[in-house]
């Protein structure tokens, strides 16, 4: 599983290297060209080295079908949990964009903890504590104006 | 020089700086205790706070406190819970946990904390004594030498860091390429910005760092699906703790050897604390009268790695500040922090910003003293933090991280950058690609381009012909050739026989 992911990443970096080379050549002055070209070429070459290593490693590993199936099942569970975490994190970013730092932490922390079936009291206390921490630490103590959110007049 | 010492001490004793130091020590200990969170995550989360601190010194004192003490907190979890609090505490649990199972957890904690504390303080004096020597060396470094040094530093981190060397090099190059995104100051050319105004200045350091280390760790933690990171450990008594403290005195020569090895390994760019701890554990076993007992719960197996993992900090910071080349992943984040306050690590830092450099070195000693004293008396309570439910950890860290991203770069679009790099960091972590190498390339890429372009303009394309540059390149060639030679030389020798 790990080898497969590593291989896909190396292929992604290889494509990035190719993109970098094509883009670099088009820049106007040598000062702007030579380092991007040098680094992109390096990425391209090192990606090929990594891909070769991964393919050789895959050929040498003799995983039984049961082991592969178990690893894939574990990975499916992990991926689901990971996707949930990412969705919740993106949700928090959207909440901040809409509601700003005064209300988004309050609502998001409470909603997440309730979704995770934590108790009402603990969820409320932690939500209020986090929102209070952001307000007092950044706005009161450090004097920084935090983002208010587009619902509250922020452009 | 004496003025600089006076300046450093007066900075450190200011009430605000002492308060920040205590907060940093507490934060570092708490994070050190929580396995998998680690010093890198908390340092990445704290980086944005630099912009809202009253002064650059205060901001860097906060970070140096966290940087110095996470390993001390991590020892507690290693011994009581059998999970290393941070990666560098892995060697400690080999003997620390068996001691705990035998009912000597308190003694192991006493020994670990005392070895860490003394191991963190003593090398600071070594580093301070070395500064005049370092100053003489770095005065010989011009732009060509600095360009070559950056290349060597990134290669060292890639080649000697954990995991595959080719993946490390690939990540270092990727970091360098990412640093070139945006407006090129010398020619005015826009590079890799997809004609997007948001990327005209390139990627901001904070969202990238927070994404790669902070968010990636959080996602990884939640993906594993555990309710708590660790189960509760055993309790300990103060008498047992002081017995461990006495053990360090009994094995003082072992402690001294481990401290010196840790310090020297800390100075070498890219090697990191994990290597130092395993080397010291190995030498403790080899020089012991009863090596067969190692792994069953001998106190020397706790003293050696714990002395080493704190001893490397002073050496690491010395190299980071003098040459701009960090010795470890946490050092990369300290480097980023120093650059964020407008100071270019390297010759200028040691010559023009000497009081600040001394403040940071002495800060390591003070942080270690504070952390050691605190941990000796509160180890069992600290260990309970490791049993915190992951839901509370996730919400708390996420809120502070997002606020940090906004404080550092006030645009909601930076959240997208942080998430993209968070996902990249997660994939890199899971598939064995070096995140510190990527970040070091990203942090030093701009400087590397400036030094290289100026060197080419002044000295021509073959600018690396000075003895220092050639020596550095020679070291680099040896580093690359060594794994190949190690494989092929024995074969060649066999054939010639």
Search chain B and give the residue with CA nearest A42: B173
Structure tokens at A108: 């998001």
pLDDT tens digit string along B170-225? Answer: 999 999 999 999 888 888 888 988 888 888 888 888 888 888 888 888 888 888 76
Q: Is B480 on the interface with A (CB under 8 A)?
A: no
Q: Do A36 and B180 touch (CB under 8 A)?
A: yes
Q: Is A119 on the interface with B (CB under 8 A)?
A: no
The H or E element spanning position B133 is: helix B105-138
Please give the C-alpha separations between residue B160 and each of A90, B65, B419, in angstroms, as whole numbers: 36, 26, 29
Residues of B in contact with A93 (CB under 8 A): 402, 412, 415-416, 419
The predicted pLDDT at position A12 comes to 95
Half-sphere exposure for B256 (CA within 13 Å, toward CB): 5
Structure tokens at B292: 């067969």
The predicted pLDDT at position B307 comes to 92
Q: Is A123 on the interface with B (CB under 8 A)?
A: no
Search chain B and give the residue with CA nearest A150: B412
Residues of B in contact with A5 (CB under 8 A): 427, 430-431
Q: Do A6 and B431 touch (CB under 8 A)?
A: yes
Please give the C-alpha separations between residue B367 and each of A38, B21, B305, B317, B372, in angstroms, as whole numbers: 42, 7, 19, 14, 8
Q: Do A82 and B219 touch (CB under 8 A)?
A: yes
CB B424 within 8 A of CB B220: no
The predicted pLDDT at position B35 comes to 67
Residues of A in contact with B170 (CB under 8 A): 10, 13, 43, 46-47, 49-50
Mean pLDDT of B487-494: 77
The H or E element spanning position B191 is: strand B190-191
The predicted pLDDT at position B253 comes to 93
The predicted pLDDT at position A111 comes to 95
Helix axes B272-286, B252-267, angle to 10 degrees: 150
Q: Do B412 and A113 touch (CB under 8 A)?
A: no
- In Å, how far is B300's CA from the nearest CA of chain A? 37
User: B258 vs B2, which has greater pLDDT?
Assistant: B258
Structure tokens at A7: 């291989």
Q: How many residues does chain B have?
A: 497
The DSSP bridge partners found for residue B191 are B182
Chain A to chain B, count of Cβ pairs less than 8 Å apart?
156
Q: Report the alpha-carbon distance of residue A93 to residue A114 in Å, rounded.
A: 19
The predicted pLDDT at position B277 comes to 83
For residue A85, pLDDT beyond 90: no
For residue A153, pLDDT beyond 80: no
Confidence of residue A61 (pLDDT cuts 50, 70, 90): low
pLDDT tens digit string along B270-283? Answer: 666 777 888 888 88
Q: Do A116 and B391 touch (CB under 8 A)?
A: yes
Confidence of residue B496 (pLDDT cuts 50, 70, 90): confident
Mean pLDDT of B42-71: 85
Where does chain A have alpha helices with state H?
A: 2-26, 30-60, 65-115, 120-134
Highest mean pLDDT among B60-64, B131-135, B159-163, B386-390: B60-64
The DSSP bridge partners found for residue B228 are B389
Q: Is B191 on the interface with A (CB under 8 A)?
A: yes
Q: Report the alpha-carbon distance of residue B415 to residue A47 in Å, rounded.
A: 29
pLDDT tens digit string along B349-406? Answer: 888 888 888 999 999 999 999 999 988 888 777 777 767 788 888 888 888 888 888 8
Q: Do A2 and B399 touch (CB under 8 A)?
A: no
Residue linked to tokens 């050929």: A59
Neighbours of B146 (CB within 10 A): 27
Q: Return the DSSP state at B291.
A: G
Q: Report the alpha-carbon distance of residue B415 to residue B423 in Å, rounded.
A: 12
Site from B58, B167, B404 to mutate, A interface, most A CB atoms within 10 angstroms: B167
For residue A68, pLDDT beyond 80: no
% of chain A residues with pLDDT over 90 = 46
The predicted pLDDT at position B380 comes to 72
Q: Report the alpha-carbon distance of residue B191 to residue B171 in Å, rounded.
A: 20
pLDDT tens digit string along B411-462? Answer: 878 888 999 999 999 999 889 898 888 988 898 888 889 889 889 988 888 8
Confidence of residue A125 (pLDDT cuts 50, 70, 90): very high
Lowest model confidence (mean pLDDT) among B103-107, B226-230, B329-333, B378-382? B226-230
For residue A138, pLDDT beyond 90: no
% of chain B residues with pLDDT over 90 = 18
Neighbours of B136 (CB within 10 A): 9
The predicted pLDDT at position A112 comes to 94
Mean pLDDT of A74-95: 84
Confidence of residue B234 (pLDDT cuts 50, 70, 90): low
DSSP assignment string, B357-383: HHHHHHHHHHHHHHHHHHHHHHHHHHH
pLDDT tens digit string along B16-39? Answer: 999 999 999 998 888 887 766 667
Q: Report the alpha-carbon distance of residue A124 to residue A149 in Å, rounded.
A: 22
- In Å, how far is B278's CA from the nearest CA of chain A? 26
Confidence of residue B230 (pLDDT cuts 50, 70, 90): low
Residues of A in contact with B215 (CB under 8 A): 89
For residue A41, pLDDT beyond 70: yes
Q: Do B170 and A126 touch (CB under 8 A)?
A: no
The predicted pLDDT at position A64 comes to 65
% of chain B residues with pLDDT over 70 = 94
Confidence of residue B250 (pLDDT cuts 50, 70, 90): very high
pLDDT tens digit string along B291-334? Answer: 888 888 899 999 999 999 889 888 888 888 888 888 777 788 88
Q: Do B170 and A105 touch (CB under 8 A)?
A: no
The predicted pLDDT at position A120 comes to 92
Please give the C-alpha separations between residue B205 and each of B45, B400, B406, B446, in angstroms, as whole numbers: 12, 17, 12, 12
The H or E element spanning position B183 is: strand B182-183
Residues of B in contact with A130 (CB under 8 A): 395-396, 399
Q: Report the alpha-carbon distance of residue B107 to residue B105 in Å, rounded.
A: 5
Lowest model confidence (mean pLDDT) among A124-138, A141-155, B438-452? A141-155
Chain B (105-144) residues lying within 8 Å, Cβ to Cβ, of chain A: none
What distance, in Å, lies between the first and last C-alpha atoms of chain A? 45
User: Which residues lie below 8 Å from residue B378, measured CB to CB, with a gap of 6+?
Assistant: none
For residue B235, pLDDT beyond 60: no
Q: Do B407 and A28 touch (CB under 8 A)?
A: no
Average pLDDT, chain A: 86
The predicted pLDDT at position B279 comes to 82
User: Which residues lie below 8 Å from residue B387, measured CB to CB, with a gap of 6+?
Assistant: B228, B229, B230, B231, B232
Search chain A and give the residue with CA nearest B181: A36
pLDDT tens digit string along B117-146? Answer: 999 999 999 998 888 888 777 778 888 888
């Amino acid at each position: 599983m790990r080898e497969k992911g590593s291989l896909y990443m190396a292929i992604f970096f290889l494509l990035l290297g190719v993109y970098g080379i094509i883009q670099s050549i088009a820049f106007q002055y040598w000062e702007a060209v030579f380092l991007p070209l040098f680094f992109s070429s390096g990425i391209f070459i090192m990606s090929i080295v990594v891909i070769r290593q991964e393919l050789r490693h895959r050929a040498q590993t003799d995983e039984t079908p049961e082991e592969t199936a178990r690893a894939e099942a574990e990975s499916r569970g992990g991926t689901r949990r990971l996707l949930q975490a990412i969705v919740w994190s993106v949700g928090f970013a959207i909440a901040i964009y809409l509601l700003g730092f005064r209300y988004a932490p309050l609502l998001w922390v409470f909603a997440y903890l309730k979704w995770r079936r934590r108790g009402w009291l603990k969820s409320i206390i932690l939500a209020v504590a986090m929102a209070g921490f952001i307000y007092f630490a950044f706005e009161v103590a450090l004097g920084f104006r935090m983002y208010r959110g587009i619902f509250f007049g922020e452009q | 020089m004496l003025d600089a010492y006076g300046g450093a001490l007066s900075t450190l004793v200011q009430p605000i700086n002492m308060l920040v130091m205590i907060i940093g020590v507490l934060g570092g200990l708490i994070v050190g205790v929580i396995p998998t969170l680690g010093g890198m995550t908390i340092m990445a989360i704290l980086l944005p706070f630099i912009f809202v601190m009253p002064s650059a010194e205060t901001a860097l004192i906060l970070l140096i406190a966290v940087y110095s003490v996470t390993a001390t907190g991590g020892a507690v979890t290693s011994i009581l819970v059998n999970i290393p609090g941070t990666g560098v505490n892995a060697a400690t649990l080999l003997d620390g946990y068996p001691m705990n199972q035998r009912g000597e957890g308190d003694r192991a904690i006493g020994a670990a904390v005392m070895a860490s504390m003394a191991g963190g303080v003593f090398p600071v004096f070594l580093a301070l004594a070395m500064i005049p020597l370092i100053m003489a060396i770095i005065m010989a470094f011009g732009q060509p030498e600095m360009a070559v040094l950056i290349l060597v530093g990134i290669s060292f981190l890639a080649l000697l860091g954990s995991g595959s060397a080719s993946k490390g090099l690939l990540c270092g190059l990727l970091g360098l390429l990412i640093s070139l995104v945006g407006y090129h100051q010398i020619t005015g050319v826009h590079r890799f910005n997809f004609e997007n105004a948001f990327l005209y200045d390139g990627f901001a350091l904070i969202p990238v760092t927070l994404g790669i280390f902070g968010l990636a760790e959080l996602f990884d933690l939640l993906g594993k699906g555990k309710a708590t990171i660790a189960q509760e450990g055993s309790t300990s008594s103060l008498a047992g703790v002081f017995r461990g403290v006495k053990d360090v005195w009994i094995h003082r020569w072992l402690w001294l050897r481990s401290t010196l090895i840790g310090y020297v390994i800390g100075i070498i760019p890219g090697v990191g604390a994990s290597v130092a701890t395993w080397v010291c554990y190995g030498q403790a076993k080899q020089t012991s009268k009863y090596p067969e007992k190692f792994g069953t719960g001998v106190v020397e197996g706790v003293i050696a790695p714990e002395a080493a993992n704190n001893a490397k900090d002073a050496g690491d910071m010395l190299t980071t500040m003098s040459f701009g080349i960090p010795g470890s992943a946490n050092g990369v984040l300290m480097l980023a922090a120093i650059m964020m306050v407008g100071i270019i690590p390297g010759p200028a830092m040691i010559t023009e910003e000497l009081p600040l450099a001394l403040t940071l070195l002495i800060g390591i000693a003070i942080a270690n003293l504070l952390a050691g004293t605190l941990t000796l008396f509160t180890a069992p309570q600290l260990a309970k933090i490791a049993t915190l439910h992951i839901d509370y950890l996730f919400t708390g860290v996420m809120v502070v991280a997002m606020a940090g991203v906004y404080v550092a770069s006030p645009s909601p679009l930076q959240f997208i950058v942080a998430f993209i790099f968070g996902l990249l960091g997660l994939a890199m972590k899971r598939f064995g690609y070096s995140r510190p190498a990527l970040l070091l390339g990203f942090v030093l890429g701009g400087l590397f381009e400036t030094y290289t372009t100026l060197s080419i303009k002044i000295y021509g394309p073959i600018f690396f012909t000075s003895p220092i540059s050639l020596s550095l390149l020679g070291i680099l060639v040896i580093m690359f050739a060594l794994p190949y030679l190690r494989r092929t030389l024995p074969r060649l020798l066999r054939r010639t026989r």
